[in-house]
Amino acid sequence: MPKLKVDGVELEVPAGATVLQACELAGKEIPRFCYHERLSIAGNCRMCLVEVKPGPPKPQASCALPASEGQEIRTDSEMVKKAREGVMEFLLINHPLDCPICDQGGECDLQDQSVAYGRGASRYHEHKRAVTEKYMGPLIKTIMTRCIHCTRCVRFSEEIAGVDEIGALYRGENMQISTYLEQAAKHELSANVIDLCPVGALTSRPYAFEARPWELKKTLSIDVSDAIGSNIRLDSRGREVLRILPRVNDDVNEEWLSDRGRYMVDGLTRRRLDKPWLRRDGKLVAATWAEAFDAVAKINPGPSVAVIAGDLVDCETMFAARKLAGALGSTLLEGRQTGLAYDCSNLAAVNFNSTLAGIEDADAILIIGSMVRDEAPLLNTRLRKAVKKGAKVFIVGAEWDPTYPATFLGEDIAVANDLPAEVAQVFEAAKKPAVIVGGAGLAKGGREAALALSERFNLVREGWNGFNVVHMAASRMGGLMLGYAQKGGIADLAAAKPKMVISLGADEVDFTKFADSMIVHIGHHGDKAAHAADVILPAAAFSEKDGTYVNTEGRVQYAEAAVFPPGDARQDWTILRAMADALGVSVGFDSFEQLRAAMVAEVPALGSEGLADYGALPAAPAGAKAEGAIAGYPIKDRYLTNAIARASVTLQRCSAELVHGESFAEAAE
């Protein structure tokens, strides 16, 4: 714990801190471009120069200088001011003055810092350098003349993404950032370099020239594209959400966001259901709300009702639907649309118990049937960190590229029942062993095998719980907490032959099994369920309603509405409330607050943000064995996993270009 002085104020900083961090602890702002907390230190922009004694009589780059005992640091001296002005002037020598047409304008580090630390005028009259455009794929727009060579993007792709896609070619003034042969950046987190770029060299291609940051309303929300529950910010103008950016939450997404979550934003305005539709003579025709509710009343199902929750819905919607079904006398609720039927009697056994931040500390990890990069991209960055710290990873299932060293144990899941000796040895020696079961594993009894492993290797120990299930749907844990699970899965619903099936945006269900039922679809996109529906009631997407989401680690998080639903669409709970009137039953709430209060009264864990407590793991069921081969994973196309994403032009292009290898001619500019 070195003691040092920053601008005359004495303070103690943690061992291993840099001078820059020490200055920040002292409350001093240090300008920087290349330094980033989550990346390695490069020390090449020189913007963070400070004066340090003892040391050479010149300014020093604080980001790369270890803080040590007795240092006297000055951030406010004349030398520092001149140094910053000098660095700023050099950086601006080759930087174009095109801020008025630059998408970074208004949220540009270079702009802000040149105002705060620059000299105000240039003495440079020579020609500026120009750099040819580089293609980086459908998501990243490049204007490389603006690049100031901080190499944050290079370090991100190497260290966080782990794919070495982006590199710095040539040298000195001629250095250019590029992918190999200007191929598209393919990694599922690649668009995060847009946030990292301190200038306008890498900007968002779909968002180009859309809006200025000061025009946008910022709304805090939760990503629904996977079960990680990334914290996001919705930037909206008028009735349209224009972009999605990640928020910092070290427990969940750090400060990254998957490309899928970031770019499904343009799906929010396309293929929307903006008025009720009724099926007449086999054809869907537009209707009014009154006609739609008449049609629902006419179904008059009595207790013969089933509710299927989709992957994107919030807890309030699911609770309202549960109340409605309950009032009608039914408990047929299910959220696992594709037919999974794992045992949900103990939620600790279907939860990611290590927590996303905690899994970084694991030293032996067994992944059973999960293609983590597609199913939970931000979990993979955590696993990468664990491996960097020395964890050994074993994977059961078809091979995929994890971006870190891992041993594949074959496709046959039976190997999880009886681990090979060398794997067992690693697990016995491990201090924090962890097992992660994915969707493909759950389908083949991986959960039971993992429970047996948990007992054998003592995965739950003092300060550590190594039993994990990683889900793919944002609504999954919330749904399970609200009882959206039948013993036999969705097959139980089909077997009950309900008169009415309420689909809450359930777009992944095989509705041919419900051919005799009237299907009432409460959803926001004209996707698969809408094609099967008899009555379509247009609802709100996640950006248009307040809601509670529970991520795969059981973390309860709240999202807020950014905009209004389009056209005649309404928030889901109001539709369910009106349906109750149409069907002549009472659900016991008249406002969103009452609904939420009722929900919290029944499931108290949903009432407070943070990790829900699911109690202890159950004992492994005797004799249960995992069987079958995991030859493939549920996600076939990582960009088109939900109704919003499928409606997104950007993600359709990503799918075509990055997954299916189609090539697109670049428009000449």
Partner 1 sequence: MADRHPEPDSPELRARWGNFAWTAENAEKAKEIIARYPAGRQRSAVMPLLDLAQRQVGAEENTQGWLPLPVMEYVAAQLDMPIIRVLEVATFYTMYNIQPVGRFHVQVCGTTPCMLRGSDDIMAACKAKGLKKGHTTPDGLFTLTEVECMGNCASAPMVQINDDNYEDLTAERVTHILDELAAGRQPKTGTQEPGRHTVEPAGALSNLTAMVSENHDYRGEW
**Residues of the shown chain interacting with partner 1 in the complex, contacts defined by CB under 8 A:** 129, 163-172, 174, 179-181
Scan for tokens 């000449």, then name that residue. Answer: 668
Calpha distance 353→643 (Å, rounded) = 29
CB of 154 to partner 1, least distance (A): 9
Distance CA 520, CA 500 (A): 7
Nearer to partner 1, 125 or 171 (CB): 171
d(CA 522, CA 533): 9
Instruction: Give the nearer residue to partner 1 in terms of CB position, either 88 or 153.
Output: 153
Between CA 456 and CA 396 the distance in angstroms is 18
Nearest-5° Cα angle at 219, 217 to 221: 155
**Least CB distance to partner 1 at residue 135 (A):** 13
CB of 201 to partner 1, least distance (A): 17
Do 310 and 337 meet the contact criterion of CB atoms below 8 Å apart? yes
Q: Which is nearer to partner 1, 128 or 636 (CB)?
A: 128
- In whole angstroms, the minimum distance from the beta carbon of 401 to partner 1 comes to 12
The least CB distance from residue 177 to partner 1, in Å, is 11
Closer residue to partner 1, CB minimum distance, 239 or 388:
388
Q: Which of 669, 117, 494, 30 is nearest to 506 (CA)?
A: 494
Nearer to partner 1, 181 or 668 (CB): 181
Cα 86 from chain centroid? 40
- CB nearer to partner 1: give 174 or 512: 174
- Pairwise CA distance, residues 376 & 374, whole Å: 6
- We find the least distance from the C-beta atom of residue 35 to partner 1, in angstroms, to be 21
| Residue whose tokens read 């050099």 | 90
Q: Which two tokens stand for residue 405?
A: 């060293």
Nearer to partner 1, 182 or 291 (CB): 182
Q: What's the closest the beta carbon of residue 333 comes to partner 1, in angstroms?
A: 48
Check residue 308 and give left, alpha or beta (phi > 0: left; psi -120 to 50: alpha). Answer: beta
Q: Which is nearer to partner 1, 53 or 129 (CB)?
A: 129
Question: Distance (Å, rounded) from C-alpha 647 to C-alpha 267?
Answer: 5
- Are 94 and 147 in contact by the 8 Å Cβ rule? The answer is no
Integer angstrom CA distances of residue 636 from 229, 230, 633, 658: 21, 22, 7, 13
Nearer to partner 1, 170 or 209 (CB): 170
Q: How far is the CB of 64 from partner 1 (least distance, A)?
A: 21
- What's the closest the beta carbon of residue 167 comes to partner 1, in angstroms? 4
- In a 3-state reduction of DSSP, which class is residue 269? helix
Provide, rounded to whole angstroms, the least separation between the CB of residue 166 and partner 1: 7
Q: Are 205 and 138 in contact (CB under 8 A)?
A: yes
Residues whose CB is less than 8 angstroms from the CB of residue 32 and which lie 6 or more positions away in sequence, other chains included: 20, 45, 47, 48, 63
Task: Report the nearest approach of partner 1 to the CB of residue 157 (Å).
Answer: 9
Tell me the β-bridge partners of 352. Answer: 468
575 and 592 Cβ atoms separated by less than 8 Å: no
Q: Closest separation between CB of residue 188 and partner 1, Å?
A: 17
Residue type, 85: E
Which one, 68 or 176, has the nearer CB to partner 1? 176
Q: How far is the CB of 175 from partner 1 (least distance, A)?
A: 9
User: Is the Cβ of residue 171 or residue 660 nearer to partner 1 in the bound state?
Assistant: 171
Which lies closer to partner 1 via its Cβ, residue 180 or residue 209? 180
Q: Where are the beta strands (DSSP E) in 341-446?
A: 364-368, 392-396, 407-408, 433-437
- How far, in whole angstroms, is CA 413 from its chain's centroid? 28
Measured from the CB atom, is 39 or 502 closer to partner 1?
39
Name the residue type at position 372. Answer: V
Which CB, 124 or 180, lies closer to partner 1?
180
Distance of closest approach, residue 400 Cβ to partner 1, in angstroms: 18
Angle among Cα 531, 535, 536 to the nearest 5 degrees reads 70
Place of tokens 């099926």: 279
Query: Which of 165, 534 has the CB closer to partner 1?
Result: 165
Q: Which residues of 574-586 are buried (b: 16+ CB within 10 A; e: fewer)?
A: bbbbbbbebbebe
**Distance of alpha carbon 450 from alpha carbon 621, whole angstroms:** 11
Q: Is 75 helix (H, G, I), strand (E, B) or coil?
A: coil
Residue 651 near residue 659 (C-beta atoms within 8 A)? no
Smallest distance from partner 1 to CB 422, Å: 20
Q: From residue 53, give the alpha-carbon distance in Å to each of 58, 61, 67, 69, 473.
A: 10, 13, 11, 11, 55
Q: Directed axis angle between helix 315-328 and helix 592-602, to 10°?
A: 80
Q: Which helix (H) or strand (E) holds 286?
A: strand 283-286
